[in-house]
Chain A
């Protein structure tokens, strides 16, 4: 693997349970949720009064008043207020990007400790006014006299007043993420049955992890919710096959994506504690795993050259090559289930000799991923997917899975809006 000056150690994580939108957290703000996740992390690891190197994270859907969301959240915790904190944003890869870049700073010796994470709320999403109304209001603001101001405001028409809620549509194509994915799923011939099976496995695995107490030190309750409320422990093929497709309906018979094999809109927050080995030891903190490396990717989806959510396929190839690794070297795989078909399409691409040779430029395909190593404690289909919070969930879960398995590797893939994505490598210790 690539040599770095020193290790970036994953010490632990905390998240609040993820809640389906407009439900348990309907009245919770991004800041309240992220603060709660941070407070739980501070409490778990006794970080009160501690000055950390940095706190980094973000939200995909953010009010303009939250320009300093992470800093404001960190100030609401018992951390030393001299801890710098800042926002990053890379759509659904926000959390992973925050954690990855913090790990890099630790490896370089720029900082010794950090918290990375993210938060998102569909229930508390910013509603904006129309561009026309905004232009009028700005003109009124610039007015130098009452007359000019009135003249500007007189331009307001009833139609201008309709608020605009944020959507998950791609600005450049106008298609929703689900519609984009439906095209990719069709292209790769992902069957309905495969998708439903993956969804059932996600629910079963997450339920079993809760049952075994795996999340006892990864999740702390918020607003009376103790566990992810999208989780359906009794999920079954029988139930899932009854659902009608919701995306790609113009594919007719070939429409495969349902509400069950697509992630629901979700509210939630997560945080991961990182440190150098020395810092962890000096603070008597556990060392679950190392954050070894990560890679960003982006694809040309606008012209339809590649699927919107396929960027991790490319990032993975580069990252594995740089580290001299193959899929055989990994003990666990965490592939974010934006849609069941996202996971399946990425895996098919890695198995495809043609794709790996012609598109990724590899001598041989990256190969298949053993399903018994995939999302073993469930993923986004069951837990839900509060966009920026998913990275923290995955990193903390995988780090705990690899703890006590020194040298064993874990693989992460997270797709993101805008045709981007991130892959990462974690090593147990």
Chain B
């Protein structure tokens, strides 16, 4: 992983002064999740007087947070939850928005602004949809305006959904916590009352079995570690050629190593056999394995194109068919079903020069995820994608220095994310507390300016 020396420098006393005087980007040290830390340090303001806001406030109080409705002009604020759940016209946005605006100068570092509103697509009323779309727009803009590692994100509720649904609380807690350090300008949709909140928030995946493909290094290894930390037993999968590093990761997370080329026709069956033999169950599948074979399309050959498609999307489609046919993926009514999380990429959203193959595969992942949601929901499960932006990995460390430096700063947090940031979002989407969210592609990109 390449050292981000600029961020180190900008966080020194002299660095802060210099970067400020020169108007240079000021990347902050982000608040990242540690199980022993509080969800967030400091008061959480809830703005909005609807019944729904009381429901959310009760959740926050239940977690021991310092929830406020009003706050003194000199008090510092850790987070603002802005309730837009009942807006019916764009004109109605102003009271809550200006309430949020008045607090922005009082925000602590790595603060959170979370907007809560109903899904714009669920209404045919032009004024209502305009108002709800307005919340999207203002949330994204606010994310650009946040400073000192702060983020702004939205929770989008299904039209009929009760605010007390477990996954609303799950999303709220994820966004408040350090788990979402590198998530900004994004929206988490909650569609159903599915889901359960953990008895122990430090081990939300306790008792569950998770498969992580591409687990030998980089983001995959971080996912394996994070799922293990959250209580899951991990099956670490990678190609036989990566076996030495795979064993290291599997031993580190007290899991089992499965050397497997996921492009094999029977890869899904082999994973299922392994899960059945060693654990007798399978709850979480993280399709992380992926490759890049960059070339301008004019110079693309079939081996570069086909291998990327085969590894990054065809294998996932084939494995998902096997998983969905498996008894291990069936769950009785009233329990949380299997959860699948796939790695997409911001390249799949915005496209990227030299990555037509990669972008096709990753856009394909997002298509697969949205189209598979019904099948997973029929098993009380979910399928979602995570689209990382610029992440500090062995792969990005190989980029030319100037390109890497530019890529790092091209987002609202002015820095690259870490593999752990991607892993935290995956662990959240894989948790029973996110069972009401499915078919979503959630970006972990610090609000990358590309493909916003």
User: In the complex the two chains form, what is the Cα distance from A380 to B255 in whole Å?
Assistant: 32
Q: Which residue of A lies closest to B264 (CB)?
A: A213
Q: How many A-B residue pairs have CB under 8 A?
A: 74
Q: Mark A203-234, 1 if CB is under 8 A from B, else 0.
A: 00000000001011101111100100000000
* Interface of chain B residues 278 through 328 with chain A (CB within 8 A): 278-280
A73 to chain B, nearest CB (A): 14
Identify the interface centre among A46, A77, A213: most chain B CB within 10 Å of its CB: A46
| B232 CB within 8 Å of chain A | no
Do residues A40 and B254 form an inter-chain contact, with CB atoms below 8 A? Answer: no
Please tell me the number of chain B residues within 8 Å of chain A, measured between CB atoms.
24
* Interface hit among B71-79, B98-106, B124-132, B240-248: B240-248
Contact of A39 among B241, B251, B259, B280 (CB under 8 A): B251
* Interface of chain A residues 35 through 76 with chain B (CB within 8 A): 36, 39-40, 42-46, 48-49
Do residues A39 and B248 form an inter-chain contact, with CB atoms below 8 A? Answer: yes
| B257 CB within 8 Å of chain A | yes
Q: Which residues of A contact B244 (CB under 8 A)?
A: 36, 40, 220-223
Instruction: Report if A213-B279 is in contact (Cβ < 8 Å); known contacts: A39-B251, A219-B243.
Output: no
Contact of A216 among B240, B248, B250, B278 (CB under 8 A): B240
Do residues B250 and A43 form an inter-chain contact, with CB atoms below 8 A? Answer: yes
Instruction: Report if A40-B247 is in contact (Cβ < 8 Å); known contacts: A49-B254, A226-B241.
Output: yes
A40 to chain B, nearest CB (A): 5
Q: Which residues of B contact A77 (CB under 8 A)?
A: 251
Instruction: Report if A48-B247 is in contact (Cβ < 8 Å); known contacts: A213-B261, A221-B242.
Output: no
| B256 CB within 8 Å of chain A | yes
A385 to chain B, nearest CB (A): 22
| B340 CB within 8 Å of chain A | no
Do residues A48 and B254 form an inter-chain contact, with CB atoms below 8 A? Answer: yes
* Interface of chain B residues 351 through 395 with chain A (CB within 8 A): none
| B260 CB within 8 Å of chain A | yes
Q: Mark B214-258, 1 if CB is under 8 A from A, else 0.
A: 000000000000000000000010001111101110110011111
* Interface of chain A residues 244 through 288 with chain B (CB within 8 A): 284-286
Interface residues on A, range: 20 to 34
Contact of B246 among A43, A222, A226 (CB under 8 A): A43
| A78 CB within 8 Å of chain B | yes
* Interface of chain A residues 12 through 40 with chain B (CB within 8 A): 36, 39-40
Do residues B280 and A284 form an inter-chain contact, with CB atoms below 8 A? Answer: yes
Q: Which residues of B contact A43 (CB under 8 A)?
A: 236, 246-248, 250-251, 255-257
Contact of A40 among B236, B243, B278 (CB under 8 A): B243
Shortest Cβ-Cβ A-B pairs, 6 listed: A220-B243, A43-B247, A43-B250, A43-B257, A46-B256, A48-B254
What is A's interface to B at a CB cutoff of 8 Å?
Answer: 36, 39-40, 42-46, 48-49, 77-78, 213, 215-217, 219-223, 226, 284-286
Give 9 CB contacts A-B under 8 Å.
A43-B250, A44-B256, A44-B259, A46-B255, A216-B259, A220-B243, A226-B240, A284-B278, A284-B279
